[in-house]
Amino acid sequence: MPVDYNQLLDTYIEETLENLADIDDALLSMDIDAPDPEQINKIFRSVHTIKGNSAIFKFQSMSTLMHGIETFLDKIRSSMLSLKKTHVDYLLKVSDSTRKILDDLKKKKPLDETLVSQLSDALQDILKRESSIREVSQKETNKSTPAQGFKITIHPQKDIFKRNLDPLGAFAMLHEEASFKATVMIDPLSELDMKDYDPLACYLSWEIELQGEISKEHILEILTWVFEEHDIVLSPIPTIDIKTPIEIQKKSVPAVPSPPLPTTASPTTLRISTDKIDSVMNAVGELFIIESMFKQTIKKFDPKTSSQLDETLDLLEKNTRYLQDSIMRIRMVPISFAINRFPRMVFEIASKTEKLVDFVIQGEQTEIDKTMIEKLTDPLLHLIRNAIDHGIEAPKVREKEGKNKTGSLQFISKQEGDNILIEIKDDGAGIDPEKIRSIAISKGLLAEDIKLSETKLYGFIFKPGFSTSEKVTEYSGRGVGLDVVEKNIRALGGAIQIESKIGVGTTFRIKLPLTLAIMDCQLLRVKKQTYIIPLLSILEMAQITAKNTIDENGKKYYKYHDQKINLIYLSSIFNREAPPMDIINLFVVVVQTTGGASALVCDELLVQQPIVIKNLAWKVPGTVGGTIMGDGSIGLILDVQEIVEIGSKTYDEQQFQSEGIFSRRLFQNEGSYPIESIQPIQPIQNKREATETTEKDETEATTENEYLCFSLSRSEYAINMIWVQEVIFSKNPTILPFSPPYLLGIINLRGNIIPLVDLRIFFGIEPCPTKKGITIIANIEKEGIIRVVGLVVDAIIDTQIIKKLDIGPIPKSGHLILRHYIQGLVYINQRIITLLQIQNILKDPSELTEAT
Amino acid sequence: MNIEQKKDYLLLLCENQLDTNSVVEFKKTLLEKLDFAKPIHFEASTVTKIDTVGIQFLLFICSQAEKKKITWHWENVSPTLTNIATLLGAHRLLKLPETKLSSESS
């Protein structure tokens, strides 16, 4: 089976990043004056692993660099060098540069040899400098002696004999170089049974004492003829320093065995591609849908006979839940993967902004879905940056205000039920709500006479371009970022909130679901459509009564604890209806958004159930996707933040917005332009001019493809069969709010949500009077992803084999944009067929205009 | 390598070569005959070529004997064997005298 180099390379990159994080972690917590031996060993182990893995990928220069760093670290742990700040800075630089190199590799760029070479040169400089200092120091004192030798431990690979390698030669060479004494260890051998003994497997290991003036490099040079370098551990026999023997003993770091390379390690863990886990997770998602379908079907049965089925179904539900939990756990990784760079970043920003920050992380082992981790890092990083740059004051200012001159910054994460809670808490200056208010007024975001709660005012911080900072720094202050933070958190199905007090500090509180794949949701009904809200966003649900509503100047509000909150009518948003006059007995779902709580009004509250989120081919405002319900219909999952934003506008504004969002310029700006108006001037075969063609042109011209021919009104059209998946009778779709007229809605096709495009309306032909039709299920590529789309046509005619040679050009009189949807025209047996360029259907007309 | 069943003990005759090839060749038959029912005597006076696989083989037999509480000892040992055993640090476990190492190897 061929080795998938790319997949292995991904693993290499991932592992190296993990090791770099460990290196950073150890370096940043290192006390330079009294380094913790275990921390140095930790760095050594990580460097060693990077070295080994780099060698496997033939990144020789990287492997050599890491080898040099190992030697350097070895000198430190054997007290031949004392650790300095410049050393730590150098190692941090190596870590940064290696990340850059990995980033390049990820983008399929070659390894940056120049950068590696610069790092190697810098290391040589350090070693030369240290060596000259040591020489001077030794000449001056003349009291210390060179290392007297090494204690060597070797745990060979089991297959060395099979590779015709024998330690004898290497041992004999060492014996010639210095006083050599070996002791063999036979632990695995003595535990073996007769039948298990393989004479060609090496069960031996050695401890060797080598006395004399021999360098570590030379020893390794000899031993690595037979053994892998990571199987050898060398520790110097301590030099006797007459002056300060105790100090040296204290500083010496016991060497630890290096971890074996992954290729030879016994598999206690297994790396699995997330794609594979995702596909299992999707299958579990489908199980939920099937289970839901069963429940729907059982309702139709006689209750007497269905009770047993109910029990079985409960069992299925229990098992499906268990399966979901188990698979979800596989996808979970500690949040430390997202935040392991933070201490380093805090250190750097604090240094550059000349602030003193005590950064504390709590709950770094809290686990979260791996796919979420990747999207979470940047928003969290941004909040940390902001906290240091804008939150925590300069030491002098803090002292003046009676605070400790070192600011406190806390990152706290914990799991609460099915949610992850993250807090980023500083004890800095806090956010002044009055300042936000005046900026919001000056930016025209808030009318002067409107009074808002502090929570709602803080919500303005998440508006694009909104910044309360008076100065722009390298890190923040441009008002770019917090809107992206909020958007990213929302995309993860989460919510963010601010709590702040002037002079005391600010806390950003983020609530996230454990996973994005399956979410527990509340189902609700508005008119005939089912909508879904993740439970994570819900604060309260209730039936509307006279008691829990307030009527003020003809406008109704919901009483939520002591607050008076806006009512947002989902029927106004999705069905374009005026708010109902009588709302008693309708239902509210109080949801949490950045601007505080809002009450969504619906007709009925349905059940709560786990939901499998499926993407819609179109972004529908106010929704994050759809799901297939038990009865096969499609439910739309609400984006509560966006719904509240749309709902906060007046009814008239909503109408304006819904018109504007999805109208295609093709039709709106330039009017309907029926495709039927494009007709060939004369039969194509006659029009084609005889020209000299090259051999290649001839081959291309004779290439033939099969096309599916169909009718729209009185004309014939065709699309290349390679894009056609199947043909079905048109189904009644679920209507999508705010969608353009040609998007009829979405249908459930064997568990997949598919949008239906009415090609008549799309091309400006009058709508079909019978509303019946045929749907061609076609594959259309959009943004690199193949999407399945249903194309509604009048009728299928036949299929035709068409040669490229026979495809005539589009008449120049055609509409500029419309021409992008047409490949050409064909004249067959008195039929004129317009070949459609179906791949452009999902493209935005602006893309096509730019291309023109 | 050969095994001779004596009345009170098992004589294990090491031929002049005790290296990878010979160990692989004789392992099966040797281990079948080695029932560890009687004490083992090693005769290794003629061994002139031995490698680490050979030493490991001897160590295995000795460790198995000890596990089964069977005594063993050397009748004759060649200098090559003691040298190599010392170089590999196996002399103590093989109950061989430690020699002043020469550069001789297999």
Q: Give Cα B51 distance to the centre of its chain.
A: 12
Element (H, E) at A223: helix A216-223
Q: How confident is the model at residue A564 (pLDDT cuts 50, 70, 90)?
A: confident
User: Could you identify the residue written with the tokens 């947002």?
Assistant: A568
A818's CB contacts (< 8 A; 6+ apart) are A666, A673, A675, A678, A763
Q: For chain A, which residues lie within 8 Å of any Cβ of chain B, measuring from their own Cβ?
A: 161, 166-169, 171-172, 175-176, 180-184, 186, 189-190, 192, 194, 197, 199-200, 202-204, 206-208
**Whole-number pLDDT of residue B105:** 39
| Neighbour count for residue A442 (Cβ, 10 Å) | 9
Best interface-test mutation with A: which of B60, B70, B92 has the largest number of A CBs within 10 A?
A: B60
Q: How confident is the model at residue A428 (pLDDT cuts 50, 70, 90)?
A: very high
Q: How confident is the model at residue A765 (pLDDT cuts 50, 70, 90)?
A: confident
**Whole-number pLDDT of residue A265:** 34
Check: CB of residue A177 under 8 Å from CB of residue A147.
Answer: no
Straight-line distance from the first to the last Cα atom of chain B, in angstroms, rounded to the nearest whole number: 17
Cα A106 to Cα A6: distance, rounded to the nearest angstrom? 9
Contact check, Cβ <8 Å, A186/B93:
yes
Would the pLDDT of A658 be above 50?
no
Q: How confident is the model at residue B106 (pLDDT cuts 50, 70, 90)?
A: very low
Contact check, Cβ <8 Å, B52/A190:
no
Range of lowest pLDDT (A46-55, A312-321, A681-690): A681-690
Instruction: Please tell me which residue, A477 or A84, carries the higher pLDDT value.
Output: A84
B33 half-sphere exposure, CB direction, 13 A CA radius: 17
Cα A431 to Cα A461: distance, rounded to the nearest angstrom? 10
Give a three-class secondary structure readout of A250-270.
Answer: HHCCCCCCCCCCCCCCCCCCC
- For range B9-22, the mean pLDDT: 86
Q: What's the whole-number average pLDDT of chain A?
A: 77
Tell me which chain A residues have a C-beta less than 8 angstroms from the C-beta of B90: 184
CA angle B44, B46, B48 (to 5 degrees): 105
Q: Are strands A795-803 and A704-712 parallel, antiparallel or unpaired?
A: antiparallel
User: Three-state DSSP class for A118?
Assistant: helix
Check: CB of residue A709 under 8 Å from CB of residue A757.
Answer: no
CB nearest A171 (choices: B27, B66, B88): B88
Would the pLDDT of A683 be above 60?
no
pLDDT tens figures, B52-102: 999 999 999 898 888 888 888 888 889 889 999 999 999 989 988 888 765
Going through A113-187 in order, the beta strands assigned E by DSSP cover: 149-154, 179-185
Contact check, Cβ <8 Å, A199/B52:
no
Cα A289 to Cα A609: distance, rounded to the nearest angstrom? 10
CB nearest B20 (choices: A161, A182, A189): A161
> Is B106 near chain A, with CB under 8 Å?
yes
Q: Which of A133, A113, A100 is nearest to A13 (CA)?
A: A100
pLDDT tens figures, A215-259: 888 888 888 888 888 888 888 875 433 333 333 233 333 443 433
Instruction: Please tell me which residue, B18 or A11, carries the higher pLDDT value.
Output: B18
Tell me which chain A residues have a C-beta less than 8 angstroms from the C-beta of B84: 168
Tell me which chain B residues have a C-beta less than 8 angstroms from the C-beta of A182: 87-89
User: Could you identify the residue written with the tokens 């050009």?
Assistant: A809
Q: How many helices (H) and strands (E) does chain A have?
A: 26, 32
Contact check, Cβ <8 Å, B89/A190:
no
Q: Give Cα A466 distance to the centre of its chain.
A: 26
**Whole-number pLDDT of residue A238:** 57
Which tokens is A161 given?
């004999």
Cα A153 to Cα A162: distance, rounded to the nearest angstrom? 21
Q: How confident is the model at residue A844 (pLDDT cuts 50, 70, 90)?
A: low
> Is B63 near chain A, with CB under 8 Å?
yes
Q: How many helices (H) and strands (E) does chain B have?
A: 3, 6
A177's CB contacts (< 8 A; 6+ apart) are A210, A212, A214, A218, A222
The residues that bridge with A625 in the sheet, in sequence order, are: A637
Cα A618 to Cα A600: distance, rounded to the nearest angstrom? 24
Q: Are strands B40-44 and B72-77 parallel, antiparallel or unpaired?
A: parallel
Closest residue of B to A175, CA-based?
B103
Quote ipTM for the complex. 0.94
Tell me which chain B residues have a C-beta less than 8 angstroms from the C-beta of A189: 56, 59-60, 63
Closest residue of B to A159, CA-based?
B53
Check: CB of residue A551 under 8 Å from CB of residue A500.
Answer: no
Would the pLDDT of A677 be above 80?
no
**Whole-number pLDDT of residue A184:** 92
**Whole-number pLDDT of residue A599:** 93
A684 half-sphere exposure, CB direction, 13 A CA radius: 22
Check: CB of residue B84 under 8 Å from CB of residue B29.
Answer: no
Check: CB of residue A420 under 8 Å from CB of residue A404.
Answer: no
**Whole-number pLDDT of residue A828:** 86
A295 half-sphere exposure, CB direction, 13 A CA radius: 15
Tell me the DSSP string of A501-540. Answer: ETTTEEEEEEEEES-SSEEEEEEEEETTEEEEEEGGGEEE
Tell me which chain A residues have a C-beta less than 8 angstroms from the C-beta of B93: 184, 186
pLDDT tens figures, A20-47: 888 888 888 777 777 887 788 888 888 8
Q: How far is B45 from chain A (nearest CA, A)?
A: 21
- For range A75-97, the mean pLDDT: 82
Cα A83 to Cα A87: distance, rounded to the nearest angstrom? 6
Would the pLDDT of A173 be above 90?
no
Which tokens is B14 given?
């090491």
Would the pLDDT of B14 be above 80?
yes
- For range A717-741, the mean pLDDT: 84
**Whole-number pLDDT of residue A202:** 92
- For range A132-156, the mean pLDDT: 62
Best interface-test mutation with B: which of A166, A173, A179, A206 has the largest number of B CBs within 10 A?
A: A166
- A848 DSSP assignment: H
Check: CB of residue B59 under 8 Å from CB of residue A189.
Answer: yes
Which tokens is A436 given?
């936000």
Contact check, Cβ <8 Å, B56/A180:
no
A547's CB contacts (< 8 A; 6+ apart) are A559
Tell me which chain A residues have a C-beta less than 8 angstroms from the C-beta of B87: 168, 171-172, 175, 180, 182
Residue A272, judged by CB atoms within 10 A of its CB (0-12, 13-18, 19+), counts as exposed
Q: How confident is the model at residue A698 (pLDDT cuts 50, 70, 90)?
A: low
Tell me which chain A residues have a C-beta less than 8 angstroms from the C-beta of B50: none
Contact check, Cβ <8 Å, B56/A202:
yes
Which segment, A13-17, A322-326, A498-502, is predicted with the most confidence on average?
A498-502
- For range A58-84, the mean pLDDT: 81
Cα A457 to Cα A500: distance, rounded to the nearest angstrom? 11
Provide the number of CB pairs (under 8 Å) joining chain A to chain B.
Answer: 79
Closest residue of A to B62, CA-based?
A190
User: Could you identify the residue written with the tokens 């999952």?
Assistant: A637
Contact check, Cβ <8 Å, B53/A203:
no
The residues that bridge with A710 in the sheet, in sequence order, are: A717, A796
CB nearest A169 (choices: B67, B93, B105): B105
CB nearest A190 (choices: B55, B63, B105): B63
In our burial notation (b when 16+ CB lie closer than 10 A, e otherwise), range A61-83 reads bbbbbbbbbbebbbbbbbbbbeb
**Whole-number pLDDT of residue A474:** 47
Would the pLDDT of A718 be above 70?
yes
Instruction: Please tell me which residue, A290 or A724, carries the higher pLDDT value.
Output: A724
**Whole-number pLDDT of residue A256:** 38
pLDDT tens figures, A799-839: 999 888 888 877 665 555 566 788 888 988 888 898 888 87
Would the pLDDT of A440 be above 50?
yes
Cα A59 to Cα A555: distance, rounded to the nearest angstrom? 70
- For range A307-334, the mean pLDDT: 78
Looking at chain A, the whole-number percentage of residues with pLDDT higher than 70 is: 80
Which tokens is A517 given?
């794949």
Would the pLDDT of A473 be above 60?
no
The residues that bridge with A232 in the sheet, in sequence order, are: A154
User: Three-state DSSP class for A381?
Assistant: helix
Would the pLDDT of A601 be above 90?
yes
Cα A92 to Cα A255: distance, rounded to the nearest angstrom? 22
Which tokens is A815 given?
């509409």
Q: How confident is the model at residue A420 (pLDDT cuts 50, 70, 90)?
A: confident
User: Three-state DSSP class for A91?
Assistant: helix
**Whole-number pLDDT of residue A843:** 65
Tell me the DSSP string of A421-486. Answer: EEEEEE-SS---HHHHHHHHHHTTSS-TT----HHHHHGGGGSTT----SS--SSS-SS-SHHHHH
- For range A665-692, the mean pLDDT: 38
Q: How far is B8 from chain A (nearest CA, A)?
A: 23
* Residue-level length of chain A: 852
Which tokens is A159 given?
């297959």
User: Could you identify the residue written with the tokens 């909150």?
Assistant: A565
- For range A727-741, the mean pLDDT: 80
Closest residue of A to B34, CA-based?
A194
Contact check, Cβ <8 Å, A194/B64:
yes
Best interface-test mutation with A: which of B19, B21, B56 has the largest number of A CBs within 10 A?
A: B56
User: Could you identify the residue written with the tokens 């779709």?
Assistant: A733
Q: Amino acid letter at A612?
A: V
CB nearest B56 (choices: A172, A204, A207): A204
Q: How confident is the model at residue A662 (pLDDT cuts 50, 70, 90)?
A: very low
- For range A92-100, the mean pLDDT: 88
Q: How far is B57 from chain A (nearest CA, A)?
A: 7
**Whole-number pLDDT of residue A812:** 62
Element (H, E) at A557: strand A555-560
Q: How confident is the model at residue A603 (pLDDT cuts 50, 70, 90)?
A: very high
Closest residue of A to B36, CA-based?
A194
- For range A305-316, the mean pLDDT: 76
User: Could you identify the residue written with the tokens 């039969």?
Assistant: A683
Element (H, E) at A343: helix A342-352
Q: Which of A93, A100, A95 is nearest to A122 (CA)?
A: A93
Range of lowest pLDDT (A156-160, A322-326, A361-365, A584-588): A322-326
Q: Which of A538, A511, A514, A513 is nearest to A524 (CA)?
A: A538
